[in-house]
Amino acid sequence: MTRYILAIDQGTTSSRAMIFDERAEVRAVSQQEFPQHFPESGWVEHDPEDIWDSVLRTCREAMEKAGIGAGDLAGIGITNQRETTVIWDRQTGKPIYHAIVWQDRRAATLCRTLKDEGHEPVIQDKTGLLADPYFSATKIRWILDNVEGAQARAERGELAFGTVDTFLLWRLTGGRRHLTDATNASRTLLFNIHEQRWDKDLLALFNVPESLLPEVKDSADDFGDIEADLLGGTVPVYGMAGDQQAALFGQTCFREGMAKSTYGTGCFLMLNTGDKPLHSESRLLTTVAYRLNGKTTYALEGSIFIAGAAIQWLRDGIKLIRMAKETESLAEQTPANHGVYLVPAFTGLGAPYWDPKARGAIFGLTRDTGIKEIVTAGLQSVCYQTKDLQKAMERDGVRPVALRVDGGMVENNWVLQFLADILGATVDRPRLIETTALGAAYLAGLKAGVFESLEALEQLWQCDRSFTPEMTKETRDRLYEGWVEAVNRLQD
């Protein structure tokens, strides 16, 4: 009898459920978008109830499409938008405030204070991260400061914190399990990645009671059984990882030097550094790639806040296109050196700049500029930002031996060819581009015994197409110099 894995992929703009069989083939998919909330400039929120409803609905629909019941599932894997912060009442399970999304920049003043007081070096040494509003602890601090009575309730043990994985697990298990995995914990600013535990010095720095926090487990582990009435029977949750780590796992980047770049709402380039955390001098992040059987594998990561969201803005914000797929044909009609640069700093700049106050801009507009040039500049901005990360990794003494790409944007062949050109490197697109959900399925399947080993998973990876550089180095350097100049002007 075929055994199936249900992967829950809870993203920034939508929730997706996917059913995989024991050959890692997709048997069914269901996806649902949910509302985004922008209460003030630079603020981004979700209603956790919208997240929960969309997850439950897509899981049920995917199982119905696949024609399977709970008894056919060997396990569930969860992957999630990282750093997004939820705090809820332990008795009722109800959030005390909206989820504050990873893109949110409201804690910029707190982060500036931490830097001015000299705390950032200690934070980076312990967590591999920087003092930036991106990470969860600053969002926890804002909620505890701004929701009446929240700090006192947290100190009395009445509240629970979680990133989205933890919140979903709490709901799925009827409040019986308050857990996370090492990858999500490593993104909070509160987790010591060397000692693999919550750090008491950092808890004191952010004034966060340890009772608020979940227990941290391996990425493939027993996270508890879901409530029988949710999907028609009890099913164990066996895998959990933040979305970018899940994508690395789904791309089977298990060997040191292998790298993946995911193009979703944001863009995230992650390089496997093996069993040793590499300290970045270029303001990249050191993070947990995955933890299996108590052994931690680390990664170096560059985080770009706006990638696919820039195309979404071109479509929904200024309505230059009706559908994202139109961008490929528009770019094919436009020379690469058209002179327009779009810097999509809608919620600040991520790595390696880390400028929370930066805002988006378009440079190089002339009377000849039209829709084609602006749309092409939007696509190119994603590739230029990836080049920023490549340069930063090179300054840290590492260069990916292979770059595997995934996420919705990589269906665009023009983007991947320009990416290969501007990086001066081969870019490989896998047959299955939704590797975030696949990584969650792999983790759950390893624990369930559906997949035997990492070596067996490596054999499942298949390349759809490789893109090799065609641009001259002179052209590449000239285009990238224009991008650097645009970013510098934005920050002046």
Cα–Cα distance list, 163 to 47, 281, 434 (Å): 13, 28, 21
**Residue pointed to by tokens 């919550």:** 198
pLDDT digits (tens, 9 = 90+) for 164-176: 999 999 999 999 9
Beta-strand pair 237-242/73-80? parallel
pLDDT digits (tens, 9 = 90+) for 328-374: 989 999 999 999 999 998 878 888 888 878 889 999 999 989 999 99
What separation in angstroms does the CA of 282 have from each of 273, 321, 357, 388, 391?
16, 36, 20, 10, 9
Mean pLDDT of the region 302-311: 85
Percentage of residues in the chain having pLDDT higher than 70: 99
Measured at the CA of 482, the angle between CA 354 and CA 427, to 5 degrees, comes to 75
Q: Are the CB atoms for 88 and 109 separated by under 8 Å?
A: no
User: Residue 432's pLDDT is what?
Assistant: 87
CA distances from 150 to 83, 144, 145, 168, 286 (A): 20, 5, 7, 21, 31
Cα 475 to Cα 198, 424, 470, distances in angstroms:
48, 11, 10
pLDDT tens-digit map of 175-198: 999 999 999 999 999 999 999 999
Q: Which two tokens stand for residue 229?
A: 């009435």
Contacts of 112 (CB under 8 A, 6+ apart): none
Which pairs with CB-CB distance under 8 Å and at least 24 residues apart come from 28-31? Answer: 28/62, 28/63, 28/65, 28/66, 29/62, 29/65, 29/434, 30/57, 30/58, 30/59, 30/61, 30/62, 30/65, 31/58
Mean pLDDT of 448-454: 94
Stretch 26-30: mean pLDDT, rounded?
A: 96
- CA distance linking residue 54 with residue 47, whole number of Å: 11
Select from 283, 383, 391 the least CA-distant residue to 343: 383
**Per-domain boundaries in the chain:** 4-243, 251-430+462-492
CA separation for the pair 268, 79 (Å, rounded): 15
Closest CA to 308 of 385, 231, 207, 251: 385
Q: Which residues contact 251 (CB under 8 A, 6 or more apart)?
A: 258, 260, 404, 406, 430, 435, 439, 461
Query: Do 4-243 and 251-430+462-492 show the same overall fold?
Result: yes
Of 357, 338, 337, nearest to 347 by C-alpha is 357
91 burial type by CB count under 10 A (0-12 exposed, 13-18 middle, 19+ buried): exposed
In tens, the pLDDT along 30-78 reads 999 999 999 998 899 999 999 999 999 999 999 999 999 999 999 999 9
Can you give the pLDDT at residue 207? 96
Residue 8 has pLDDT above 80, yes or no: yes
What's the confidence (pLDDT) of residue 492?
Answer: 65
| Better pLDDT: 8 or 310 | 8
**Token pair of 203 as six digits:** 């808890």
Q: What is the chain's mean pLDDT, rounded?
A: 93
Give the confidence band of 1 by pLDDT, cuts at 50, 70, 90. low
- What does pTM read for this prediction? 0.88
What are 373-431's pLDDT values in tens digits? 999 999 999 999 999 999 988 888 887 767 899 988 899 999 999 999 999 999 999 99
- Supply the pLDDT for residue 272: 93
Amino acid identity of 284? L
Q: How far apart are CA 108 and CA 102, in angstroms?
A: 13
pLDDT of residue 401: 64
Grade residue 117 by pLDDT with cuts at 50, 70 and 90. Answer: very high
Of the candidates 169, 170, 115, the residue with the CA atom closest to the CA atom of residue 138: 115
Pick from 324, 287, 322: which is nearest to 302 by CA? 287
pLDDT in tens, 309-320: 888 898 988 898
CATH topology (fold) of 251-430+462-492? Nucleotidyltransferase; domain 5 (3.30.420)
Report whether 305 contacts 104 (CB < 8 A). no
- 4-243: CATH topology: Nucleotidyltransferase; domain 5 (3.30.420)
* Look-up of token digits 């790409």: 405
Average pLDDT over residues 482-490: 92
